[in-house]
Structure 1
Amino acid sequence: MNNFENVIKKIQEIVEKKYFTGAVLKINQNKKNIFSYCFGINDLEKNSLMKEDLIFRAYSMTKTLTVAAFLTLVDEKKVSLKDPLSKFYPEFKNMKVLDKNNLDEVIECKNEILISHLLTMTSGFTYFGNKNKTQKETTNLLSNFAKKQNDKFMNYESFMKKLSEIPLEFEPGTNWKYGLSLDVIAAVIEKITKKSFRDFVKLKIFEPLKMFDSDFFLKDKSREAKVYEWSLINDEPNLKKIENFNFFIQELDKVPSMPMGGAGLFTTAKDYIKFLDFLLDGKDSKGNKLLSSQILNDMTKDQLKKIRKNFIWNLNQDYSYGFGVRVRVENKNYPLTEIDEFGWDGLLGSTALVDPKNRITMCLMLSSKPGHNKLVESEFFEALYKDLKNNKKINIVEKL
């Protein structure tokens, strides 16, 4: 087995400092496992250990999977990156937008929202917030997402109708903002395929990649990765278990009416790294091509270009954004990894990385709120690449 002493030390450190109760890690090279590690406790009350088959809430790591599923439709010529959103949902034809010179005013939108804008988070959709009308109204919409009305949960049809009534924060294509763009992509999937988003993802991703523990609800409560809330009490870190944590989830243990394309995935480390392996070449375990090399390349390269300066991510300035993933375009700032490395993280701390140059994939599953994402991805990424470069059994391509 390969030596990952820095990785082990770093995971032990973040657990011992009570940022998390434990972690599950898998590292592959060339789609073969080179290191697996489970450390710490899953349920502090029962003193049950972290295990490889625990099912975690992936949250925003869902986004990458949603994009990959959608891009199969682009490959099949069923949708174009240049298609307007209004082609599938006409209510988005004549959108309103905040006046950039006076954010208290709403004006007619000049640009249509294109599919490419959704994939790159340049659509003008936002998440929670209270800084302007768009954020406040989006917060109100999302606060009702998990509430039943007339004994029914919201579905994508009703969600899209309400979303279309909220002004965009900026003209599509002119800025970058983390928000609901990839949930809208999930809605577009339903409109194109006439299938539920969940069924389509099962068909295109879960089944061919044999991700049998993955779904959009907690299918096995006995294997739940418990969620803990981190806080400081008298300047000492404290972790308190949150039972049935359901942020952005309509029903924890039932198929939701609207599984969030940006946040709804439940999965294991073993399953998710199968998905990451797939992103190396677009092929399943049998060598079947599920995603073309061209579209995969587009997904994992800098798509922001001139507006890259507006990409606000919490690691460093060396990154841009592709389709649903951060993409490393330079390798000058701490932590050093590799140019073209890409991936994303989740609300509860979990993080994923794909390094095409060295054919490395990594999935680290964590489960606390807040997720301490910057700490994890800076210090853990540094430890990971130290071990990768120090390990004689792993062929890491050095710069010429």
Structure 2
Amino acid sequence: MTSGLVYGGSHMAGRTTEALFQEMDRRLYGESPMGTLEAMNRLGQCPLAFQPGSSWAYGTSADVLGAVVEAVSGIRFGQFLQQELFEPLNMKDTGFWLPESIRGRLAKTYQDNGHGELTLYTGSHLGIVHQLDRDPAFESGGAGLASTIDDAAKFTTMLMNDGSLNGVRILRPRTVQYLTTATLTERQYKGFESWHTLSGFSYGNQMRIMTDSRKAGLIGSNGEYGWDGWLGPYFCNSPQDGLTFLFMTQRKDAGTLPITRKLRNIVFSAL
């Protein structure tokens, strides 16, 4: 997230990127939906919020990495994930869309109606077909996968086991160590420290990483890592405690909910 690519904002970089995603949403159900490579090539024409490497901002860096995987592997991003991760880890319920035979198991998504109540959300966001009822043209590196607690636990356990699960090695131990290490320089961290709810954390390789448990607003241990999502899914691994915490919900603009913090504090305080 030190590339200068962003999701939105009032500056030129944010406005042009937001306009691109709006176009992607408009084309989602038409005859020419925007594919992964087209979308990211278009993104490459957008201005940056800052010189790459000079700061930090949460944005579309992961989406670009998905397109890089397609370009290097010669296959679609979703197919690459299926071959290299989902099949080896026996993650049968994870993918960018759901066949009709299992689509009825997809949890409904809710949104705040502005009056303290929840209503169903059926819209589209960031080029994602929210109903997951078709093979999407755009397979996002930063969003859009459907999964289950059981499948997610196989992935998180693989990371906790230094890259292997049930005798299948996905990553080398030193790769896992690199992926779960904070990599921000002092200069880059100045862009991250404005994320006040992540006080006590740093960032690296698409993950938050706890670096000072004394400053964190959560009970935890240094070295824990993980991420959360727009609809509220939350994951953390704490190698020091030998603990994985997974929580899934489906609420628009959820991020990390108060209930998520309370639940993980209960779990960590019991250690």
Please give the residue correspondences for 1:49-64 in structure 2 after superposition, counting only pairs within 5 Å.
Answer: none
Runs of 4+ aligned residues of structure 1 deviating over 4 Å after TM superposition are none
Q: CA deviation at 1:282?
A: 3.8
Segments of structure 2 that go 5 or more residues without pairing to the other structure are: none
Looking at structure 2, the residues matched to 298 and 198 of structure 1 have their Cα atoms a distance apart, in angstroms, of 24
Say whether the 8 Å CA contact 2:55–2:190 is kept in structure 1: no
Higher mean C-alpha deviation, range 156-165 or range 261-270:
156-165
1:210 paired residue number: 90
Say whether the 8 Å CA contact 2:56–2:190 is kept in structure 1: no
1:136 paired residue number: 15
Tell me the number of residue pairs that the alignment of Structure 1 and Structure 2 aligns.
263
1:146 paired residue number: 25
Counterpart amino acid of residue 141 in structure 1: L
Say whether the 8 Å CA contact 2:7–2:17 is kept in structure 1: yes
Looking at structure 2, the residues matched to 197 and 327 of structure 1 have their Cα atoms a distance apart, in angstroms, of 26
Counterpart amino acid of residue 316 in structure 1: L
Q: CA deviation at 1:232?
A: 4.2
Q: CA deviation at 1:144?
A: 1.2
Please tell me whether residue 185 in structure 1 is matched to residue 65 in structure 2: yes
Q: 3-state DSSP class of the match of 1:202?
A: helix
Identity %: 29
Say whether the 8 Å CA contact 2:97–2:136 is kept in structure 1: yes
Looking at structure 2, the residues matched to 372 and 192 of structure 1 have their Cα atoms a distance apart, in angstroms, of 32
Q: CA deviation at 1:310?
A: 1.8
Please tell me whether residue 305 in structure 1 is matched to residue 188 in structure 2: no
Please tell me whether residue 361 in structure 1 is matched to residue 239 in structure 2: no
TM-score of the pair, normalised by structure 1? 0.63
Looking at structure 2, the residues matched to 314 and 294 of structure 1 have their Cα atoms a distance apart, in angstroms, of 31
Please give the residue correspondences for 1:193-272 in structure 2 after superposition, counting only pairs within 5 Å.
Answer: 193-219=73-99, 220-233=102-115, 237-242=116-121, 244-248=122-126, 249-250=128-129, 252-272=132-152
Counterpart amino acid of residue 227 in structure 1: T
Rg larger in structure: 1
Q: CA deviation at 1:173?
A: 0.4
Please give the residue correspondences for 1:20-35 in structure 2 after superposition, counting only pairs within 5 Å.
Answer: none
Deviations 1:16-44, CA, capped at 9 Å, x for gaps: xxxxxxxxxxxxxxxxxxxxxxxxxxxxx
Instruction: Give the 3 Å change call, closer, same or farther, for CA 144–232 of structure 1 in structure 2.
Output: closer
Looking at structure 1, the residues matched to 266 and 98 of structure 2 have their Cα atoms a distance apart, in angstroms, of 32
Q: 3-state DSSP class of the match of 1:369?
A: coil
Looking at structure 1, the residues matched to 226 and 177 of structure 2 have their Cα atoms a distance apart, in angstroms, of 13
Looking at structure 2, the residues matched to 254 and 314 of structure 1 have their Cα atoms a distance apart, in angstroms, of 38
Deviations 1:324-364, CA, capped at 9 Å, x for gaps: 10000111033121110010101111201101112211210
Instruction: Give the 3 Å change call, closer, same or farther, for CA 369–239 of structure 1 in structure 2.
Output: same
TM-score of the pair, normalised by structure 2? 0.91
Instruction: Give the 3 Å change call, closer, same or farther, for CA 287–313 of structure 1 in structure 2.
Output: farther
Please give the residue correspondences for 1:115-134 in structure 2 after superposition, counting only pairs within 5 Å.
Answer: 121-129=1-9, 131-134=10-13
Q: CA deviation at 1:285?
A: 2.9
Higher mean C-alpha deviation, range 219-228 or range 312-321:
312-321
2:214 paired residue number: 332
Looking at structure 2, the residues matched to 355 and 175 of structure 1 have their Cα atoms a distance apart, in angstroms, of 27
Please give the residue correspondences for 1:249-398 in structure 2 after superposition, counting only pairs within 5 Å.
Answer: 249-250=128-129, 252-306=132-186, 307-311=188-192, 312-333=194-215, 334-371=217-254, 373-387=256-270, 389=271
Looking at structure 1, the residues matched to 133 and 146 of structure 2 have their Cα atoms a distance apart, in angstroms, of 11
Counterpart amino acid of residue 124 in structure 2: N
Say whether the 8 Å CA contact 2:63–2:141 is kept in structure 1: yes
Looking at structure 2, the residues matched to 136 and 341 of structure 1 have their Cα atoms a distance apart, in angstroms, of 34
Say whether the 8 Å CA contact 2:213–2:221 is kept in structure 1: yes
Looking at structure 1, the residues matched to 256 and 233 of structure 2 have their Cα atoms a distance apart, in angstroms, of 8
Deviations 1:154-179, CA, capped at 9 Å, x for gaps: 11222122112111110000100110
Counterpart amino acid of residue 332 in structure 1: R
Q: CA deviation at 1:255?
A: 1.0
Q: 3-state DSSP class of the match of 1:297?
A: helix
Q: 3-state DSSP class of the match of 2:169?
A: coil
Larger strand proportion, structure 1 or 2?
1
Q: 3-state DSSP class of the match of 1:344?
A: strand
Q: CA deviation at 1:375?
A: 1.8
Please tell me whether residue 174 in structure 1 is matched to residue 54 in structure 2: yes
* Higher-RCO chain (CA-CA 8 Å, sequence separation at least 6): 1
Say whether the 8 Å CA contact 2:201–2:209 is kept in structure 1: yes
Q: 3-state DSSP class of the match of 2:27?
A: coil
Say whether the 8 Å CA contact 1:122–1:174 is kept in structure 2: yes
Counterpart amino acid of residue 24 in structure 2: F
Counterpart amino acid of residue 355 in structure 1: S
